[in-house]
Chains A and B, each alone.
Chain A
Amino acid sequence: MPDGAQAGPDEDRIEAAVRAVLVSMSGDLTAKEAALLAELEALGRTIARAKAEIAQLSVDDITGAHIPSATDELDAIVDHTAQATNEILDACETLEKLEAEVPPAAAEALQGAVTRIYEACSFQDITGQRISKVVSALKAIESRVEAAVANASGRPAPAPAAAAPVAPKTEGQELANGPQLPGGGTSQEEIDRLLASFD
């Protein structure tokens, strides 16, 4: 097992088996058997070292400071972009009120520009959804790290949150994946063709 990998029940059994073989074997060994035993002994040491390293991870720093700090920073990004977007929208609404006071050609140009700003401001929704996905991933990593360290150190795993009755997911919830990466979703043109194929 590579250094730093997670030790689990299977590795525990391998380590115990290696030690049992080493204890039970004695007397003359062939060169092949000796090499095999040496390999097994090295494997046992690697497992023990990995377990010790995992157990010594500063998991409290990770789960108590690093991940909460990262999620707070991400929440702050969402708040600040929302605030900035609302200020942009305030300015756009002020510009729209001026449309009645300028010549028609200028009013049309003004509205065209404001419309483009509205379209661009929808970034805040998309980035907010993407950041929510990252926060969820960080929380999943946090619980996996806690479980891995508890397993390696022999401590009981953290108790899961109080088990509240969980309603089965609806189809809408099951299919809610958030924004796709570029190239991963379906374009508006493809959606239009897909919808037309039902007619």
Chain B
Amino acid sequence: MDKNINVLIVDDYRTMLRIIRNLLKQLDFNNVDEATDGQEALAKLRAGNFGLVISDWNMAPMTGLDLLKEVRADARLKNLPFIMITAESKTENVVAAKQAGVSNYIVKPFNAETLKEKIEKVMVHA
């Protein structure tokens, strides 16, 4: 697994961005950028060269699910590994995310081991 890839983390809570960034650093992912909603994330993804997206769902104006749909509809980004980390834990949310093409789904609150396991899983298939 290439840990030199650029990772984009997306969350409207700055403390959560900081927590995920620090957990990624523990996993030796040091090239991490941040966005606080789907629109900002989409602009960064289109302008940059990222190998993984880790996104929250509940953000405004663009949610994580809507970001995921935009990513999958973009010819250059459509195969980008995309992990949703969210407090949205209803079955209908998970099904909607899967149908939209999510690579994996982590429910908050989560632990570092789960984050590590899901990243390894999606990067193997990348």
Contact = CB atoms under 8 A, between A and B. Distances in A.
A24 B107 CA distance: 68
Interface of B is mostly: helix
Residue from the set B15, B19, B23, B89 with the largest chain A CB neighbour count within 10 Å: B15
B87 A125 contact: yes
A185 interface: yes
Contacts, number: 117
A81 to B, nearest CB: 9
A85 B107 CA distance: 20
Interface in B93-111: 93-96, 98, 104-111
Interface stretch (A31-39, A51-59, A149-157, A170-178): A170-178
A136 interface: no
Interface residues of B, number: 41
Given A124-B13, A178-B87, A194-B94, A115 B107 contact: no
A118 B108 contact: no
Interface in A83-128: 85-86, 89, 92-93, 96, 111, 115, 118-119, 121-126, 128
B49 interface: no
A170 B63 CA distance: 9
A191 B93 CA distance: 10
B81 interface: no
A65 to B, nearest CB: 28
B112 interface: yes
Given A126-B87, A176-B88, A188 B65 contact: no
B33 interface: no
Interface of B: 11, 13-16, 18-19, 22-23, 26, 38, 57-58, 62-67, 69, 87-96, 98, 104-112, 114
